[in-house]
Structure 1
């Protein structure tokens, strides 16, 4: 199974230029801020999703995945594991094709929802750590 996750990690980081971040934060000390900020600094475009809205990392934050006004591809989740199944359902409804739960987050139900809908799925991995491990920058396409 680890190999499948490793393959999904690499496929996601090589394929998606835009990351929709559910639970994005404007608090610099939180992983939900500095992980997407790191990815942004390495060429990825960040679309923050936070119920408070506002601006995060210089981008308009949308209150929900349903409010994002463009096709959603990769959804990166910084919310507690118990919220992951509902976020997975919202990601599927928004047309996402990949779902990534950050480090320390996992959900069998979210995995089933995502995989049943054909999404690439990663859980319990930090996107920043994986980007550094693979030494990748955002795809140029």
Structure 2
């Protein structure tokens, strides 16, 4: 399974994915790690924030409390959207692979790329999109 780079494949992910876990979610509304998931939520996606600094608090974002890890999520996730620096993506590999069921797609936001982690995810049957913005792609293609 190759990395998804074709527009038709990216559009299919956007059309068929309904549950998005956001690693590195940020509570500051001016940060992309907040306003991108907020945009997706307003378009009908279910957003599950993942940020250990926010987990366990009585805060709710888009109707969900933040989880500390992906493995804590008890429902199937279609896309894991990552808002972490490229050199930190590997820190989440085992957490992604521990998800049950595994996500269909891992989406590394614009400016984020880690080919080594992408290859390991692809070997496990998980689609990977790197260095693209879900908000921009959704606006442009849907």
TM-score bracket for this pair, using the shorter chain length: 0.7 to 0.9
Q: Tell me whether 1:69 sits opposite 2:74 in the alignment.
A: yes
Length-normalised TM-score, structure 2: 0.87
Length-normalised TM-score, structure 1: 0.87
**Which residue is 2:140 aligned to?**
133
**Which residue is 2:90 aligned to?**
85
Consecutive unaligned residues of structure 1, counting only runs of 5 or more, are 136-141
Q: For the residues of structure 2 that align with 1:36 and 1:122, how far apart are their CA atoms? A: 16
* Contact 1:88–1:99 (8 Å) recurs in 2: no
* Deviation for aligned residue 1:84: 1.2
**Which residue is 1:139 aligned to?**
none
* Deviation for aligned residue 1:88: 3.1
Q: For the residues of structure 2 that align with 1:98 and 1:46, how far apart are their CA atoms? A: 15
Mapping of 1:31-110 within 5 angstroms? 31-52=32-53, 53=55, 54=57, 55-94=60-99, 95-110=102-117
Matched positions, count: 135
Summarize the Cα distance change of 1:33–1:93 in structure 2 as closer, same or farther, 3 Å threshold.
Answer: same
Q: For the residues of structure 2 that align with 1:93 and 1:6, how far apart are their CA atoms? A: 29
* Deviation for aligned residue 1:56: 2.5
| Structure 1 moving runs of 4+ over 2 Å | 1-8, 54-58
Q: For the residues of structure 2 that align with 1:28 and 1:64, how far apart are their CA atoms? A: 21
Q: Tell me whether 1:29 sits opposite 2:7 in the alignment.
A: no
* Contact 2:78–2:103 (8 Å) recurs in 1: yes
